[in-house]
Chain A
Amino acid sequence: MQPIESFEVPAPSKVNYINAQYGLKSWLLTKDHKRIALLYLASITFFFFIGGIYALMIRLELLTPQGDFLQSTTYNKVFTQHGIIMVFFFLIPSIPATLGNFLIPMMIGAKDLAFPRINLLSWYVYLVGGLITIYALLAGGVDTGWTFYTPFSTTFSNSYVVATGLGIFINGFSSILTGLNFIVTIHTMRAPGMTWFRMPLFLWSHYATSLIMILGTPVIAITILLLAFERVAGVGIFDPELGGDPILFQHLFWFYSHPAVYIMVLPGMGVISELVANFSRKNIFGYSFVAFSSIAIAVFGFLVWGHHMFVTPQSVYAGMIFSFLSFAVAIPSAIKVFNWTATLYKSSISYDTPMLYALGFIGLFTIGGMTGLFLASLATDVHLSDTYFVVAHFHYIMVGGTLMAYMGGLHYWWPKITGRMYPEGWGRFSALVIFVGFNLTFLPQFIAGYLGMPRRYHAYPPEFQVFNVLSTAGASILGFGMLIPAIYFVWSMRYGRHAEPNPWHLPGLEWRTQSPPPTENFEVTPIVTWEAYEFAPPEETEVVGRFGPELERT
């Protein structure tokens, strides 16, 4: 069976989801998942920019050992706000709300998500939460760290904790609604023949992500709410004066916030699975292992939160359990990495921009994951806790992982989303710049942290300056590298080469409709008769690109 040839792509028509309707109202009241994805893309980019400015301020301050650029109190607010904006308003919604929103219905052959209105609602909820948070930042900011630890946040901090908490609380519902929509969609909206094990791995990883979203987010919601009320009432359940235990806050906080790391990185893993298989033109090695490892990560991710509390009064016995399980949770991630590399082995890799990001992801995620094991060991963690080692570790996961995957995915599906090609040369160049800049930023932080430089201080002993200068230089390169795609993406929307329905010549359902897709995605509901990543044998690659007479030239 040669599925790609047997599938007829309808002749490109001029009407697609972008030009089907015009006007601001048609965007703000849209129920089309693809348009909502674009709304998310715009707002997430905005928040990423704000978070980036805070990052810039941090790196500028740390250029010298003295606190000469920012006062200590200002610095506390700057790193807190960097964390809050980047975690809650960029990383968590990034891939699911944009690429996931756009692609999940298309990949399963559905016309839309199960609840289009709830999908739009989730964007507005996100916006309201974001605006409240921005109000809090403008009114005076927060200085608790993105973790809001009690009793500092409840009793001692004089900053805008309640308003920020409210923003995060509201934003949580956006995440819950997105997760709910994905789960129901994947369960009930699959096209005929699209069985679970024919689904692209992107869907498996988003399903696992959604599980975490609906199981974890409510807990952080109630925790933040109780914290806000505790500030208002003056007493509360985390208040030692009433016999309360401040550590309980950390339990509830990390019950969500460790799994939240997987909300950030699981969708990225889904993107990477797509990129690795499709750009090496080979079925993924061990499909079901990669699929189930996503679910395993979602489940085991909930069993390890105590590793953030090794240096608190948490019982050492609980610490031992959490340490052991933290090592165990590395297994499903490692399964993915091994399967990706096994897929690459002896395949015909094309080094297009998305694939460069994918390869970058695999390397950086591996470093991030391995250094996580240092932190998961009880004794080592006592030394490394709250140092720059931790900062470097989680940036390798969140930036080296999630951001790389996000950028890779954005390039990969850009032709489908906009109907235009991005400039490939600039794409490869900026991918390399970002990779170099990222490593120069965060590799020195491992060393500084290992040597004992603590995080969250605006001044530091002079012997750490060399690492910080390197880091700031790297951050500048990274920032510059991020600007290039920002410019050429905008440029390409108007001037880019028109994209074919299937510029990469791939079998996935999303490539079997025009670019950009029509409002209902497919002219007729597709019937799926092929497996995911079913490529024609190598000797037939010449015919792979054949879709219809007008595309024969490719």
Chain B
Amino acid sequence: MIESHATTQEVHGHRALQHHFENMEQQREAGTIGMWVFLVTEIMFFGGMFLAYALYRNMFPAAFASASNHLDITLGAVNTGVLILSSFTMAMAVYFTQVGKQRPQIIALVLTLILGLAFLGIKAVEYHEKYTDRLIPGHLIPGASFGPAVQEHDQPMDAHKLHLLPGATLKQVEMFYWIYFAMTGMHALHMIIGAGLLIFLIIWSMKGRFDPEYHGPVEVVGLYWHFVDIVWIFLFPLLYLLGRHFEH
């Protein structure tokens, strides 16, 4: 910062330098810190929901385990893999921008976008399953208010029926699904926003906007994408895995 009193050549150095910054270094630093501060707000935003989750899971352990066991662990695990892979390709996109390789950079960004959309597709399949099992809480969806079939002990096992553990009530299961949809829905919304940002990045990359000296936007979107990945890293065990050990 102190050495920001730059010479004239440096000030007019790069075409992407905005007028109110002294040099590229200051501009990049501001962008990165800005995104990190924004991620702090995101952490607090999700934090409110994690708090509600922790509170009610602590209050209704049996119902939360029963409800969680009904989620599709395979799809959840596959989606975790997809998202981690997309984080990797995003990291590679930043890397290729840093070293100035435009073609691999575009490929990495496109891969990230495809993987992000794949995640959303799988999520949609899961949501649809919950819809047919009538697990969408309240009367959010007109004509399909909450009312899953409950697995009785004397009946043959049916994957579409809800198996209630001792001590669990259907109302408390509804609470789990409310939180499930709130958290995964908000996460999916962030994925959609991220996908939109990626499309902008791809267009700009194809126009050759980025180079080793100027790649703030790629880096900053990368940070956002990794953050969304981290949220899922927590959501997956907390929502999908919490009651599996009760099952046998």
Q: Do chains A and B touch in the complex (CB under 8 A)?
A: yes
Residues in B neighbouring A520, C-beta threshold 8 A: 19-20
Residues in A neighbouring B45, C-beta threshold 8 A: 218-219, 221-222
**A244 to B19 CA separation, bound complex (whole angstroms):** 53
Query: Does A328 have its Cβ within 8 Å of any Cβ on chain B?
Result: no
**Contacts A190-B1, A229-B182 known; A222 to B139 CB distance under 8 Å?**
no
**A365 to B24 CA separation, bound complex (whole angstroms):** 45
Interface segment out of the listed B31-39, B76-84, B105-113: B31-39
Interface segment out of the listed A47-55, A180-188, A279-287: A180-188
Instruction: Decide if B48 touches A192 in the complex (CB within 8 Å).
Output: no
**A255 to B172 CA separation, bound complex (whole angstroms):** 26
Instruction: Decide if B49 touches A222 in the complex (CB within 8 Å).
Output: yes
Query: Does A338 have its Cβ within 8 Å of any Cβ on chain B?
Result: no
Residues in B neighbouring A110, C-beta threshold 8 A: 20
Instruction: Decide if B30 touches A189 in the complex (CB within 8 Å).
Output: yes
**A469 to B174 CA separation, bound complex (whole angstroms):** 52
Residues in A neighbouring B49, C-beta threshold 8 A: 222, 226
Instruction: Decide if B41 touches A527 in the complex (CB within 8 Å).
Output: no
Instruction: Decide if A233 touches B137 in the complex (CB within 8 Å).
Output: yes
Query: Does A217 have its Cβ within 8 Å of any Cβ on chain B?
Result: yes
Count A interface residues, CB 8 Å: 46
B35 to chain A, nearest CB (A): 9
Residues in A neighbouring B55, C-beta threshold 8 A: 245, 248
**A221 to B44 CA separation, bound complex (whole angstroms):** 10
Query: Does B5 have its Cβ within 8 Å of any Cβ on chain A?
Result: yes
**Contacts A111-B19, A217-B41, A219-B47 known; A235 to B178 CB distance under 8 Å?**
yes
The secondary structure that dominates the B interface is helix
B33: nearest chain-A partner, CB-CB = A184
**Contacts A217-B41, A234-B139 known; A243 to B178 CB distance under 8 Å?**
no
A177: nearest chain-B partner, CB-CB = B38
Instruction: Decide if A218 touches B41 in the complex (CB within 8 Å).
Output: yes
**Contacts A215-B44, A222-B45, A248-B55 known; A234 to B138 CB distance under 8 Å?**
yes
**Contacts A243-B171, A252-B48 known; A184 to B178 CB distance under 8 Å?**
no
Instruction: Decide if A223 touches B20 in the complex (CB within 8 Å).
Output: no
Query: Does B132 have its Cβ within 8 Å of any Cβ on chain A?
Result: no
A178 to chain B, nearest CB (A): 12
Query: Does B42 have its Cβ within 8 Å of any Cβ on chain A?
Result: yes
**A180 to B39 CA separation, bound complex (whole angstroms):** 10
Instruction: Decide if B60 touches A236 in the complex (CB within 8 Å).
Output: no
Residues in B neighbouring A525, C-beta threshold 8 A: 5, 22
B44: nearest chain-A partner, CB-CB = A218
Instruction: Decide if B138 touches A233 in the complex (CB within 8 Å).
Output: yes
B1: nearest chain-A partner, CB-CB = A190
Instruction: Decide if B41 touches A242 in the complex (CB within 8 Å).
Output: no
Count B interface residues, CB 8 Å: 45
B28 to chain A, nearest CB (A): 10
Instruction: Decide if B20 touches A235 in the complex (CB within 8 Å).
Output: no
C-beta contact mask, A53-82 vs B, less than 8 Å → 1, else 0? 000000000000000000000000000000
**A113 to B34 CA separation, bound complex (whole angstroms):** 12
Most buried by A among B21, B34, B46: B34
Instruction: Decide if A115 touches B178 in the complex (CB within 8 Å).
Output: no
Query: Does B29 have its Cβ within 8 Å of any Cβ on chain A?
Result: yes
Instruction: Decide if A237 touches B56 in the complex (CB within 8 Å).
Output: yes
Instruction: Decide if B5 touches A243 in the complex (CB within 8 Å).
Output: no
**A189 to B20 CA separation, bound complex (whole angstroms):** 9
C-beta contact mask, B168-187 vs A, less than 8 Å → 1, else 0? 01011011001100100010
Q: Which residues B125-160 have CB closer than 8 A to chain A?
A: 137-140, 146
Residues in B neighbouring A115, C-beta threshold 8 A: 30, 34
A190: nearest chain-B partner, CB-CB = B1
Contact of B178 among A112, A193, A219, A233 (CB under 8 A): A233
Residues in B neighbouring A234, C-beta threshold 8 A: 138-139
Residues in B neighbouring A232, C-beta threshold 8 A: 138, 140
Q: Which residues A490-544 have CB closer than 8 A to chain B?
A: 520, 525, 527
Instruction: Decide if A242 touches B33 in the complex (CB within 8 Å).
Output: no
C-beta contact mask, A297-341 vs B, less than 8 Å → 1, else 0? 000000000000000000000000000000000000000000000
Residues in A neighbouring B26, C-beta threshold 8 A: 188-189
B173 to chain A, nearest CB (A): 9
Contact of A218 among B29, B48, B59 (CB under 8 A): B48
Residues in B neighbouring A527, C-beta threshold 8 A: 5
Residues in B neighbouring A112, C-beta threshold 8 A: 19-20
**A525 to B60 CA separation, bound complex (whole angstroms):** 61
A168 to chain B, nearest CB (A): 15
A117 to chain B, nearest CB (A): 9
The 8 closest A-B pairs by CB, nearest first: A233-B138, A218-B45, A112-B20, A235-B138, A111-B20, A218-B44, A222-B48, A234-B138
18 contacts between A and B (CB under 8 A): A112-B20, A114-B30, A114-B34, A115-B30, A116-B18, A183-B33, A214-B44, A222-B49, A226-B52, A229-B140, A233-B139, A236-B137, A236-B138, A237-B175, A237-B179, A242-B178, A248-B55, A252-B48
